[in-house]
Structure 1
Amino acid sequence: MKQGKLLIGLILLALMQLVACERNDVDSSNSADRIGTSELEGIKVATTTTVQKGEPVLFALENGLSPLDFQWKISPKQDIRVEKIKTVASIYFPQSGKYTVTAIDSISQDSVSLIVDVVIYEPGYDNIEIRQPFDADDILSLTPITFSDSTFHLEFLAETKNTYKCNNNYMLFSRDKVQDTFVYDFLRVISPAGCATENAKSKQYIYTNEPIVDGKTYNLEITFNGKNYKGSFTRNGGNYQFTWPYDDGVIFTKKTL
C-alpha cells in the first residue's frame, strides 16, 4: 500500500516538473521573440548634413519607437551635443567628418545606425557649395507619407519638376510651427562645388517632427519661389485627408492616405 502511494507521488512529481519545464520553455521563447523583434526600421536625415558652424543636423526615426524608449549615440563622440525632442534628434557636430549615428531601444537594446558625412562651414564661406535659385516655371510636388503601424507619424517627399546641377543636390528650406500651423519655406537648391555629374531633380524629405493627433485639423503653409501657399490636413485613425486648392506652383501628388 505504502509502495503504491510512493509510486503515485513520484509520478505526480515528475508530471509537475515536466509542466514547469514546458512553461519555462514557452516563457523563454516569448521573451526571445520580444527581444529579437526590433521596432527600429531606420534613421533618416531630416535636414542637410552641410550646415553652418553652430547649426544642428536633424535625424528622425522612420518608425515605431516611443520617445521614452530610445537614446541616441554618436561615434566619435568628442564635444557632440544631442537635443532630443520626441522622435527627432538635433545633433551639433563640432567639425567636419564622418560620424556614426545610432538609435538604441533602451528596453530591448535593439539598435539601428546611419553613417553620415558632415560638413561644417563658417558663415559666408561659399566655396564648398553652389547655390541655385529655383526656376521661375518650376513646380514643387509633395507626396505625403505615413506608416501602417505608426499613423501618427507624417512626412512629405518634396520634389522639383525641373532639374538642377549635380545629381546629389538638395533643397535648402526652413521649418517652423506656429500653434497648429506647420510652416515650410523652400529657399534654393544646393549642389557641391565642382560637381561634374549630370543634372537631376531636387528631392527632400520634410517632417512634421511631432505626433499628429487623431481628429485634429492642422494648417500647412509653404513658400516656394516667393509665393505663399496655404492648405490643411486632418488625420482620422489611419487615414489622412489633405485640403490643398492649388494645381500649380506647389501641388500634392495625392490628397488622401
Structure 2
Amino acid sequence: MTQRKIVIGIILLAFFQLVACERNDVDSTNSTDKIDTSQQEGIFVAGLTIVQEGEPVLFALENYLSPLDFQWKISPKQNVRVEKTNTVAEVYFPQSGKYTVTALDSISQDSVSLIVDVVIYEPGYNNIQILHHFDADDILSLTPITFADSTFHLEILAETKNSYKCNNNYLLFSSNKVHDTFVYNFLRVISPAGCTTENAKSKRYIYTNEPIVDGKIYNLEITFNKKNYKGSFTRNGGKYQFTWPYDDGVIFTTKTL
C-alpha cells in the first residue's frame, strides 16, 4: 500500500470507531437487545472521512477474523468502488455525503453497520475549506435522541453555543470505543472557504453504531477545547439516564430520556 493511501499531508485525520459483531449461534428467543459477550468478536473500522479526491477510505477487520468470510456493502452504492487487500477494504466514494457501510459475515450472516460522513476535497485544500478553532468561551451542548420503535439505538446531537463562519459549517470530531467507553474528541469547525452566508452554530450528530444493552452502564468521554469530560449513561427499557457532573464546557440539555 503506497504512502499516498494513508497520508494526506495537510489535514489527514483518522477516525476510529470500534463496534462489536456477534458470531454466535442463532437464538430465536430474543431479537434486538441480546448480545452474547462470551462469543463476541470485534470488527475494527478505521476510516479516513476527509480524503483527497481519488483516495480511498480504509476499513479493516480485527481479532483475526478472516477477510475471506466478509462482504462489504455500501449504501448508497451508486458509483462506489470497493477493493479488498488482505484485511483492509479500500472504499472509493464518488462524492461527499453520508454513507452506511456494512460488513457482512458470509458464514454466520452476522453484520455490523456504521454511518460515515465522507468529505472529498480536490487538490489545493486551502481553496476548499477552512478549519476554525473553538472560541475559548464556547459551550458544547449534547442532546440525546432515540426513537420509540428502536430505543436500543442512541444518537446525540452536538451543537456549539457560539456561531462560526458560514451557515453550513459543521463539527469535525473523531470517535472511538474502548470496551464499554464511548470516546469523542471534538477537533475543529469546518466551513467552506469564501463562504458569504451568515454565521451559524456548528453541529453534528453522534451515532453509537451498536445496540445499547438494557441495564448496562456505559462510560462517555468527551474532549472539547482541549479539556476532557467524563460521565456515564444506562438504558432501562425505553428510558435513558445520563450521569454528567458538568454545567459548563460540555453540558447535556437533558439527563433523562
The TM-score normalised by the length of structure 1 is: 0.61
Secondary structure (helix, strand or coil) at the match of 2:152 reads: strand
Partner of 2:76: 74
Partner of 1:22: none
Offset of residue 171 of structure 1: 0.4
Using a 3 Å threshold, how does the CA distance of structure 1 residues 91 and 208 change in structure 2: closer, same or farther?
Answer: farther
Using a 3 Å threshold, how does the CA distance of structure 1 residues 160 and 100 change in structure 2: closer, same or farther?
Answer: closer
Partner of 1:92: 91
Offset of residue 194 of structure 1: 1.2
Q: Give the alignment of 1:35-184 within 5 angstroms.
A: 51-52=51-52, 53-55=55-57, 72-77=74-79, 79-80=81-82, 92-96=91-95, 119-121=119-121, 125-184=125-184
Determine if contact 2:128/2:192 at 8 Å carries over to the other structure: yes
Using a 3 Å threshold, how does the CA distance of structure 1 residues 144 and 55 change in structure 2: closer, same or farther?
Answer: same
Using a 3 Å threshold, how does the CA distance of structure 1 residues 118 and 250 change in structure 2: closer, same or farther?
Answer: closer
Using a 3 Å threshold, how does the CA distance of structure 1 residues 152 and 199 change in structure 2: closer, same or farther?
Answer: same
Q: Deviations over 1:138-195 (max 9, x none)?
A: 0000000011111100010000000000000000000000000000000000001111
Partner of 1:208: 208
Using a 3 Å threshold, how does the CA distance of structure 1 residues 158 and 123 change in structure 2: closer, same or farther?
Answer: farther
Partner of 1:191: 191
Q: Amino acid of the residue matched to residue 239 of structure 2? A: N
Q: Does 1:239 align with 2:233?
A: no
Offset of residue 242 of structure 1: 0.2
Secondary structure (helix, strand or coil) at the match of 2:81 reads: coil
Offset of residue 201 of structure 1: 0.2
Offset of residue 127 of structure 1: 2.1
Further displaced range: 117-126 or 156-165: 117-126
Determine if contact 1:56/1:93 at 8 Å carries over to the other structure: no
Determine if contact 1:143/1:156 at 8 Å carries over to the other structure: yes
Determine if contact 2:48/2:57 at 8 Å carries over to the other structure: no
Q: Amino acid of the residue matched to residue 209 of structure 1? A: N
Q: Deviations over 1:65-85 (max 9, x none)?
A: xxxxxx644353352469xxx
Number of corresponding residues: 179
Q: Amino acid of the residue matched to residue 193 of structure 1? A: A
Gaps (5+ residues) in structure 1? 1-46, 58-70, 83-89, 104-116
Partner of 1:9: none
Using a 3 Å threshold, how does the CA distance of structure 1 residues 98 and 256 change in structure 2: closer, same or farther?
Answer: closer
Q: Deviations over 1:197-217 (max 9, x none)?
A: 000000100111100000000
Which has the greater radius of gyration? Answer: 1
Q: Amino acid of the residue matched to residue 187 of structure 2? A: L
Offset of residue 120 of structure 1: 2.1
Offset of residue 121 of structure 1: 3.3
Q: Give the alignment of 1:218-237 within 5 angstroms.
A: 218-237=218-237
The TM-score normalised by the length of structure 2 is: 0.61
Higher fraction of helix = 1
Determine if contact 2:80/2:91 at 8 Å carries over to the other structure: no
Q: Amino acid of the residue matched to residue 55 of structure 1? A: V
Offset of residue 118 of structure 1: 6.1
